[in-house]
Amino acid sequence: MLLQGLLLLQLAIAQDGASRVFVGRASRLEVAARRIDTAVTIDGSLTESAWASASLLTGFSQFSPVDGRPAADSTEVLVWYSPTAIYFGIRAFAPPGTVNATLADRDKITSDDHVQIMLGTFNDQRQAFVFAVNPLGVQADGTLNEGQSVQRGSGTMGSGSGARDPADLSANFVFESKGRLTEFGYEVELRIPFKSLRYQSQDVQDWGLHVVRQVQRLGAEDSWAPARRGAASFLAQGGRLKGLRGLSRGIVLETIPSIVYKTGRECAAGPCDRVTDGPDYGLNLKWGVTNNLTLNGTVNPDFSQVEADVGALQFDPRSAVFFPERRPFFLDGIENFQVTNSLIYTRRIAQPDVSFKLTGKALGTNLAVLSAVDDKLQSRTPDPNDHPYYNILRLSRDLGEQSRLGMVYTNRMDGNDYNRVAGVDGRLVFQNLYSTSFQYAHSWSEANGRAFNAPIWNAVIQRRGRRFNLTYRLNGIDSAFRADAGFIGRRGIVGARFDHNLSWFGAKEKAIQAFTTGFALDGTWLYDAFVDGKAAQDRKMHFNENFLFKGGWSAGLSFFLESFGYDPGLYPNYYVERRTPARVDTIPFTGTPRLYNVDWVFRLDTPRFERFSANLFYIFGRDENFFEWATADIAIGTAQVVWRPTDQLRVDAQYQHQEYNRRDRTTVGLRRIPRLKVEYQASRAIFVRVVGQYDSDWVDDLRDDTRTGGALLQRRSDGTFTRLTGESNNSLRVDWLFSWQPTPGTVFFAGYGATDIGAEPMRLRNLTRRDDGIFVKLSYLYRL
Within a 10 A sphere around the Cβ of 68, how many other Cβ atoms? 14
Q: Is 523 within the bounds of a domain?
A: no
Which whole number is the average pLDDT over 562-580?
A: 90
Q: E-assigned strands of 415-488? A: 417-430, 434-447, 450-464, 468-477
Total domain count, the chain: 1
Q: Which of 109-123, 724-738, 739-753, 756-770 has the lowest mean pLDDT?
A: 756-770
* Predicted confidence (pLDDT) at residue 379 exceeds the cutoff of 50: yes
Distance CA 610, CA 459 (A): 43
Please give the pLDDT value at position 311: 63
* Predicted confidence (pLDDT) at residue 18 exceeds the cutoff of 60: no
Please give the pLDDT value at position 335: 86
Three-class secondary structure of residue 269 per DSSP: coil
Q: Is 410 within the bounds of a domain?
A: no
Q: Is 517 within the bounds of a domain?
A: no
The whole model's pTM is what?
Answer: 0.87
Which whole number is the average pLDDT over 522-548?
A: 95
Amino acid at 25: R
Three-class secondary structure of residue 123 per DSSP: coil
Q: Is 168 within the bounds of a domain?
A: yes
Phi, psi angle pair for 276, to nearest 5°: -120, 135
CB 695 within 8 A of CB 311: yes
Which whole number is the average pLDDT over 153-175?
A: 76
- Residue (of 483, 142, 495, 163) closest to 334 by Cα position: 142
Q: Which of 261-275, 357-371, 388-402 has the lowest mean pLDDT?
A: 261-275
Q: Is 593 within the bounds of a domain?
A: no
Measured in whole angstroms, how far is the alpha carbon of residue 334 from the centre of its chain? Answer: 11
Amino acid at 55: S
Distance CA 290, CA 78 (A): 29
* Predicted confidence (pLDDT) at residue 199 exceeds the cutoff of 60: yes
Could you write out the DSSP letters of every residue in 68-116? TSBPSS-EEEEEEE-SSEEEEEEEEE--TT------PPTT--TTS-EEE
Please give the pLDDT value at position 533: 93
Residue 8's Cβ-side half-sphere holds a number of Cα atoms within 13 Å equal to 15
Q: Which of 79-83, 326-330, 351-355, 477-481 has the lowest mean pLDDT?
A: 326-330
Higher-scoring residue by pLDDT: 545, 383: 545
Among 9-18, 379-388, 671-680, top mean pLDDT goes to 671-680
**pLDDT class of 331 with cuts at 50, 70, 90:** confident
* Predicted confidence (pLDDT) at residue 150 exceeds the cutoff of 90: no
Phi, psi angle pair for 378, to nearest 5°: -90, 0
User: 457-462 long-range contacts, Cβ below 8 Å, gap at least 24?
Assistant: 458/340, 458/341, 458/425, 460/435, 460/436, 461/434, 461/435, 461/436, 462/232, 462/434, 462/435, 462/436, 462/437
- Residue (of 407, 399, 337) closest to 364 by Cα position: 399
Q: How far does the chain reach from its first CA to its final CA, in angstroms?
A: 35
Q: Which domain holds residue 52?
A: 2-245
Residue 406 Ramachandran class (φ > 0 left, ψ -120 to 50 alpha, else beta): beta
Three-class secondary structure of residue 607 per DSSP: coil
Phi, psi angle pair for 336, to nearest 5°: -80, -10
Distance CA 397, CA 406 (A): 6
Please give the pLDDT value at position 508: 87
Amino acid at 104: A
Tens-place pLDDT, residues 411-427: 999 999 999 999 999 99
Tens-place pLDDT, residues 79-123: 999 999 999 999 999 999 899 999 988 888 999 999 999 999 999
Distance CA 494, CA 391 (A): 28
Please give the pLDDT value at position 307: 62
Tens-place pLDDT, residues 264-277: 888 876 678 888 87
Q: Is 295 within the bounds of a domain?
A: no
Distance CA 709, CA 668 (A): 13
Three-class secondary structure of residue 25 per DSSP: helix
Amino acid at 87: Y
- Residue (of 186, 89, 172) closest to 130 by Cα position: 172
- Name the CA radius of gyration of the chain, rounded: 28
- Residue (of 399, 402, 395) closest to 125 by Cα position: 402
Please give the pLDDT value at position 230: 87
Please give the pLDDT value at position 222: 96
Alpha helical stretches, state H, 486-637: 527-531
CB 524 within 8 A of CB 493: yes
Amino acid at 612: F
Could you write out the DSSP letters of every residue in 189-225? EEEEEGGG------SEEEEEEEEEEEETTTTEEEESS
Taking CA atoms, 539 is separated from 190, 412, 524, 596, 623, in Å, by 52, 36, 7, 10, 13
* Predicted confidence (pLDDT) at residue 263 exceeds the cutoff of 50: yes
Distance CA 329, CA 376 (A): 20
Q: Is 491 within the bounds of a domain?
A: no
**Close Cβ partners of 674 (under 8 Å, ≥ 6 residues apart):** 653, 654, 655, 656, 693, 694
Distance CA 60, CA 73 (A): 9
CA triple 105-148-112, angle to 5 deg: 25
Which residues are paired to 267 by β-bridges? none
* Predicted confidence (pLDDT) at residue 158 exceeds the cutoff of 70: no
From the number of C-beta atoms within 10 Å of its C-beta (0-12, 13-18, 19+), residue 694 rates as: buried
Q: What is the CATH number of the domain that holds 172?
A: 2.60.40.1190
Q: Is 114 within the bounds of a domain?
A: yes
Average pLDDT over the chain reads: 90
Taking CA atoms, 726 is separated from 627, 697, 698, 703, 711, in Å, by 11, 11, 7, 10, 11
Among 165-169, 186-190, 286-290, top mean pLDDT goes to 186-190
Q: Percentage of the chain with pLDDT > 90?
A: 69
- Residue (of 47, 50, 37, 121) closest to 79 by Cα position: 50
Which whole number is the average pLDDT over 496-508?
A: 94
Distance CA 385, CA 410 (A): 23
**pLDDT class of 309 with cuts at 50, 70, 90:** low
Q: Which of 63-67, 269-273, 529-533 has the lowest mean pLDDT?
A: 269-273
Measured in whole angstroms, how far is the alpha carbon of residue 217 from the centre of its chain? Answer: 25
**pLDDT class of 671 with cuts at 50, 70, 90:** very high
